[in-house]
Amino acid sequence: MLKVRVGTRTSVLARWQTDHVLALWRALEPSLAVEVVAFSSVGDDMAEAPLEDMEGTGFFSSRLERALLEGAIDVAVHSYKDLPVAMTPGLTVACVPRRGAVEDALCARDGLRLGELPPGARVGTSSLRRVAQLRALRADLEYVSIRGNVPTRLARVERRELDAVVLALAGIERLGLGARATEVFATETVLPAPAQGALAVQSRTAARRLNADLARLDHAPTRHAVEAERVLLHALHGGCSVPVAALARVERDRIRLEAGVFALDGSPAFRVVSEGVSPEATGAEAARALLGAGAGAVLESLARTRGVAVEARR
C-alpha cells in the first residue's frame, strides 16, 4: 500500500484541485492511502495585496514548497500558474494532468455580455493581463483590482458592488459555477495567462519511486504546451506578473504557441505565433519575436510606472 501526505492550500478551489488529482491517482492505485495537509499561503494571508504582484512569484506556493523540502508532506498540488518560473532546487513537477478550460469568462449582473455593460460599469479582475486586453475592447469601463476566492468575487456582483468580474473559466467550472459565466472570451479576443487551466503536482526530486508512480498521471500534450508558455514567460520577465499572455497547443507532436504583450491602456499590443517541436525552443522563439516587434518597451514602461521589477531579457 502506497502512503502519501498531500499538501494543498485551504481554498475551496485548491481542495477541488487536490481531490481531482487524488481521484485520478486512485483510479490507477486503488490501495492509495492519503493524508491531506492544508496550508494557508503567504498570498492568502496578505489579503489586501494586489494579486498582479503575486501570481507566479511563489506567494501562493512557497509554504507548500517549504513543507515538501522539510519532509512534512510528500506531494503538493498547485495551480500551475502560481509556481515561479524557476523551479525550486530539490523539487520537480512530477506530473501535469490534462488541462482544463483555458479561456477567461465574464460573470456580469443581469446576464450582460461585455459589449452590453453600460459606460462606466465597474469590472473586477485580479489580472493586469486581463485589464490590458479588456481595455482594448471597452476603454469606457472602470477596471477594479480585486482579491478573494471565486465565490467571494462572485458575491460582489450579487451585492451590486461590481457590475461584473472576469475569472478563469476553469476555476468557475471546477466549482460547479459555470452557469454564472455570461460570456466566455475566445482566446483570439482575450489571450489567457501562461499555464492557465493547468495543474502541477510537485514532489521532491529525490523521491524517484513516488515520481515514477505520479508520472502515470502525466498528460504529455498539456505538459509540453505549458512548458512552452512558461519558457516564454521566463524569457520576458522575472519576479512580478505583467501583461504577458500565452497559449500553446500540441498537434501531431508540433507545438503552436500564440503569445502576446499588452500595454495597460489597451494599446499597443503585440501578438506573435511560434511553432516547433521543442517547448524550450518554441517559447524562446516567441519571446524573441515579441521583443523584436517592440514589446520590450511596454515591459520597461510598466517597470517605470508601477515600480515593479520587470526584466525584458534580450
Active site residues: 81-82, 129-130, 147, 153, 240
What is the CB neighbour count within 10 angstroms for residue 219?
A: 18
- Please enumerate in sequence order all residues whose Cβ is within 8 A of that of 90, keeping only pairs 6 or more positions apart, or say none: 69, 204, 205, 206
Q: How far apart are CA 301 and CA 166, in angstroms?
A: 25
Number of H helices, E strands in the chain: 10, 13
Instruction: Provide the 8-state DSSP code for 97.
Output: P
Phi-psi map region of 111: left, alpha, beta (phi>0 left; psi -120 to 50 alpha): left
Q: Name the amino acid, one letter, at 219.
A: H
From the list 43, 87, 86, 91, the residue with the least C-alpha distance to 67 is: 91
Q: Is the bond preceding 268 in cis, omega lying within 30 degrees of 0?
A: yes
- Please enumerate in sequence order all residues whose Cβ is within 8 A of that of 201, keeping only pairs 6 or more positions apart, or say none: 21, 75, 76, 77, 78, 93, 94, 95, 96, 97, 214, 217
Please give the helix or strand (H or E) that residue 112 lies within, else none.
Answer: none
**CA of 248: how far to CAs of 11, 96, 192, 211, 212, in Å?**
28, 15, 10, 25, 26
Torsions phi, psi for 80 (to 5 deg): -60, -35
Question: CA 48 from chain center: how many Å?
Answer: 20
The three grid cell numbers given for residue 8, joined into one nine-digit string: 494543498
Residue 273's DSSP bridge partners are 258
Q: Helix or strand or coil: residue 240?
A: coil
